[in-house]
Amino acid sequence: MNWNIIVENIPLYFTGMKLTLFLAFTSLALSFIIAVPLSFLRNSARSGVRYAVSAYTLLFRGTPLLVQLFLIYFGLAQFGLIRHSFMWPWLSSPLVCVLLAFVLNTAAYTTEIFAGALRSIPVGELEAARAYGLPKSKQAIRILVPAMLTRALPLYGNEMIMMLHATSLASTVTLLETTGVARRITLDNYIQFEPYVTAAGIYLTITFVIITSFQIVQRRFAGYLEPRSI
Amino acid sequence: MRILINSACALVLATTFLTPAFAAEKVTIATDATFPPFESIDENGKLIGFDIELMEAICKEAELDCDIIGAAWDGMFPSLIEGKYHALISQLTVTDKRRQVVAFSDIYDHPIFRFAAKKGADITISPEGVTGKIIAVQTGTPMDAYVTAHMPGATIKRYDSGSAPFLDLTNGRADLVLGYQAQIVHSFLKTDDGKDFELTGPEMTGKDAKEFGEGVAIAIGKNNTQLVEDVNRGLSKVRENGTLKALMTKYFGE
């Protein structure tokens, strides 16, 4: 065992962890903003809109995230048209490519989670809102979105954890997040167990924090959904 | 039924753990096949390249039963240390750091290291000249060690494979690649992708910076003195009978 090397590299792990957190939470925040409206469109009465959103979620849930990342990072760069376009200053950055892939991917999953929760809202809640004469927009913001989010919490918590772990793929396009740091230490010092166990410990700690906060949020906001004894 | 399953399990375990002890030992040699013209995979999935042919010749001369397999660069050294492989051939430079964890055969080549850049990029290769430039290298290689130690002003992008730095050089994400001159010339500049690029800066060897090592050799498990002996015997025969020279001419025209 050679833990000295790990101790020497604690600052590197710290920057790696910061990048991991940045990637995970930026992707999750952006995809949340995209997924809420998309989940309504996914249940739209107009079949064209519904199919368009379904096609998007199928595309991004139906292909591996690593493949999507490589297509965006290496694949797009192959086309001179894109390299000479106004987008290139953005797409040449690995950070932008990684965030683009992560956001598109997790937004697809989140859309399906939210859309499913929307469908499971009892008709009674919506009828009550109508009975109060709330306009459509208010029905959505005051009734449907909160009801959807509270019902989606357990599944959405899972998606957050999956996204956190998926950030490890960023190391394949040169970003030194937690896994990238572990791999670099492996390559420089020819040890595998210690660097990867340290990385695993970091992910486990962050996951633990996410799970605990979700339990608190769930008790506070989704308590009314719990089965109750009389 | 249960007895049958148990004994089947025992048999599998026994063969897994005991076979190497009494079978005529097959020598497993790993290579990172992302490094043409030294080692790569052809369109049929077969390993090809200078190192592969050299290793096959050595095994033949030393009468070793060799199995050369492709492996991921980031796991190669640890797996050799753990004993999953018996040896590695991958243009591995001999350095003090590597000597601490593995043994090496005799050195079979002295590579030249060069930078590659876009034609007319006019970058001066010096610690000051590359400040602010993006240099792409393969992680954990002598090239990585050299730029990390001597060019702190540059942004260093590190890749898992030997070929990815060239991808990002051609699409403009990197300004410079540091690599083996033979690798740059034969697998990049001569291709369509590399036609707008050129070698730049001085030729560098292990004499110029310790990071470039003493030369390239075959890495072997630290305590496997028998295999070091066998490989060295094969290597000296390959050198004497002209095979090594013929391979150099075939691949590099030297």
Q: pLDDT per residue over A2-58, tens digit each? A: 899 999 999 999 999 999 999 999 999 999 999 999 999 999 999 999 999 999 999
What's the average model confidence in pLDDT over A55-79?
95
How far is the CA of A112 from the CAs of A30, A39, A126, B97, in angstroms? 16, 7, 20, 51
How far is Cα B185 from Cα B179, in angstroms, rounded to an integer?
Answer: 10
What's the average model confidence in pLDDT over B92-102?
93
Round the average pLDDT of chain A to a whole number and report it: 94
Band the pLDDT of B170: cuts 50, 70, 90: very high
Q: Does the residue A89 lie in any domain?
A: yes
Which CATH number fits the domain that encloses residue A38? 1.10.3720.10
How far is Cα B113 from Cα A47, in angstroms, rounded to an integer?
Answer: 61
Q: Does the residue A192 lie in any domain?
A: yes
Position A55 scores a pLDDT of 98
Q: Does the residue A162 lie in any domain?
A: yes
What's the average model confidence in pLDDT over A93-122?
96
The number of residues making up chain B comes to 254
Band the pLDDT of B66: cuts 50, 70, 90: very high
Are B232 and B238 in contact by the 8 Å Cβ rule? The answer is no
What are A176-189's pLDDT values in tens digits?
Answer: 999 999 999 998 88
Structural tokens at position B76 = 């190669």
How far is Cα A142 from Cα A134, in angstroms, rounded to an integer?
Answer: 9
* Contacts with B166 from chain A: Cβ below 8 Å: none
Q: Does the residue A16 lie in any domain?
A: yes
How far is Cα B27 from Cα B89, in angstroms, rounded to an integer?
Answer: 12
Is the pLDDT at B230 greater than 60? The verdict is yes
Task: Judge whether B222 is closer than 8 Å to chain A, CB to CB.
Answer: no
Task: Judge whether A83 is closer than 8 Å to chain B, CB to CB.
Answer: yes
Non-local CB neighbours of A178 within 8 Å, separated by 6+ positions: A13, A16, A17, A19, A20, A167, A168, A199, A202, A203
Is the pLDDT at A121 greater than 50? The verdict is yes
Domains assigned to chain B: 2-109+215-252 (3.40.190.10), 113-212 (3.40.190.10)
Q: Does the residue A228 lie in any domain?
A: no
How far is Cα A113 from Cα A36, in angstroms, rounded to an integer?
Answer: 10
Give the residue from A219, A227, A106 showing the smallest Cα distance to A156.
A106
Is the pLDDT at B5 greater than 70? The verdict is no
What are A148-167's pLDDT values in tens digits?
Answer: 999 999 999 999 999 999 99
Band the pLDDT of A69: cuts 50, 70, 90: very high
Position A52 scores a pLDDT of 97
Position B14 scores a pLDDT of 57
Is the pLDDT at B23 greater than 90? The verdict is no
Q: Does the residue A227 lie in any domain?
A: no
How far is Cα A124 from Cα A121, in angstroms, rounded to an integer?
Answer: 8
Is the pLDDT at B18 greater than 80? The verdict is no
Non-local CB neighbours of B52 within 8 Å, separated by 6+ positions: B31, B39, B68, B89
The nearest CA of chain B is from the CA of A187 a distance in Å of 5
* Contacts with B172 from chain A: Cβ below 8 Å: 77, 83, 88, 92
Question: Can you name the residues that pair with B200 across neighbouring β-strands?
Answer: B115
3-state SS of chain A is CCHHHHHHCHHHHHHHHHHHHHHHHHHHHHHHHHHHHHHHHHCCCCHHHHHHHHHHHHHHHCCCHHHHHHHHHHHHHHCHHHHCCCCHHHHCCHHHHHHHHHHHHHHHHHHHHHHHHHHCCCHHHHHHHHHCCCCHHHHHHHHHHHHHHHHHHHHHHHHHHHHHHHHHHHHHHCCCCHHHHHHHHHHHHCCCHHHHHHHHHHHHHHHHHHHHHHHHHHHHHCHHHCCCCC
Is the pLDDT at B22 greater than 90? The verdict is no
* Contacts with A92 from chain B: Cβ below 8 Å: 171-173
Task: Judge whether A92 is closer than 8 Å to chain B, CB to CB.
Answer: yes
State the complex-level ipTM.
0.79
- pLDDT above 90 coverage of chain B, percent: 83
What are B191-208's pLDDT values in tens digits?
Answer: 999 999 999 999 999 999
Chain B, residues 126-185, CB within 8 A of chain A, namely 139-140, 157-160, 167-168, 171-173
Task: Judge whether B123 is closer than 8 Å to chain A, CB to CB.
Answer: no
How far is Cα B246 from Cα B6, in angstroms, rounded to an integer?
Answer: 55
Split into its structural domains, chain A has a count of: 1
Best A174, A192, A196 residue to mutate vs chain B (most B CBs within 10 Å): A174
**Cα within 13 Å of Cα(A190), Cβ side:** 16
Q: Do B75 and A191 make contact, defined as CB atoms within 8 angstroms?
A: no
Smallest Cβ distance to B167: which of A74, A184, A190? A74
Give the residue from B184, B226, B207, B169 showing the smallest Cα distance to B93.
B207
Return the minimum-mean-pLDDT range out of A121-130, B27-36, B87-96. A121-130
Give the residue from A191, A186, A171, A176 showing the smallest Cα distance to A11.
A176
Q: Does the residue A214 lie in any domain?
A: yes
End-to-end C-alpha distance for chain A, whole angstroms? 57
Are B163 and B184 in contact by the 8 Å Cβ rule? The answer is no
Non-local CB neighbours of B254 within 8 Å, separated by 6+ positions: B248
Q: Does the residue A57 lie in any domain?
A: yes
Q: Do A188 and B140 make contact, defined as CB atoms within 8 angstroms?
A: yes
CA dihedral B127, B132, B133, B138 (to 10 degrees): 80
How far is the CA of A122 from the CAs of A219, B10, B62, in angstroms? 20, 57, 78
Task: Judge whether A191 is closer than 8 Å to chain B, CB to CB.
Answer: yes
Smallest Cβ distance to B74: which of A74, A78, A187? A187
Domain that holds residue A15: 3-221
The model's pTM is: 0.85
H or E segment to which residue B150 belongs: helix B142-150
How far is Cα A159 from Cα B133, in angstroms, rounded to an integer?
Answer: 38
